[in-house]
Amino acid sequence: MTCPMGYRVDATLPAQANSPKSASALFGADCRISRVDCSKVTCGDYVAPENSAVLREDQAIDGHGKDVLYDETLHVTCDGSFHLSSSGFTECARSFMMHCNDKGIILSDQVSAPT
């Protein structure tokens, strides 16, 4: 059995990006077929930058966010007059969207210019 994009065989939860994408079902001593389960890949914990608010699926994430899983989207917004800047951005950002990809990496989606 092969897991779909963003999922891995869940030998450990949450599934790591380097976990196998496929596994074979085996017959047990009782002639039952062992089940192969797939779980979403984790991108790990997302730590909210200072002076910002982070929403995931319309729920706030505190300073040390909970595990972000494949295809989940984060919306990061700076507080007050703060702006985020990163080598991955061409300009300072007031807010941006991020998502967890199939490789277990959180990537930027959209950047909003400072206001």
> For the segment 78-94, what is each residue's pLDDT rounded down to a tens digit?
877 776 665 444 445 67
The verdict on residue 24 lying in a domain is: no
Let me know if residue 60 belongs to a domain. Answer: yes
- Work out the burial of residue 99: count CB atoms within 10 Å of its CB; fewer than 13 is exposed, 13-18 middle, 19 or more buried: middle
Instruction: Give the number of domains in the chain.
Output: 1
- Residue 66 in any domain: the answer is yes
Check: pTM over 0.85? Answer yes or no.
no
Q: Which two tokens stand for residue 67?
A: 């595990």
Residue 92 in domain = yes
Read off the pLDDT of each residue in 96-104 and give the average, rounded to a whole number: 88
Buried b or exposed e, range 11-42, using 16+ CB within 10 angstroms: eeebbbbebebebeeeeeeeeeeeebebbbbb
User: What pLDDT shows up at residue 22?
Assistant: 80
Does any domain span residue 93?
yes
Predicted confidence (pLDDT) per residue in 25-44, tens digit: 666 667 776 677 888 998 88
Domain interval for residue 95: 43-112
The pLDDT of residue 48 is 75
Write down the pLDDT at residue 88.
45
Secondary-structure percent of the chain, ordered helix, strand, coil, rounded to 5: 0, 45, 55
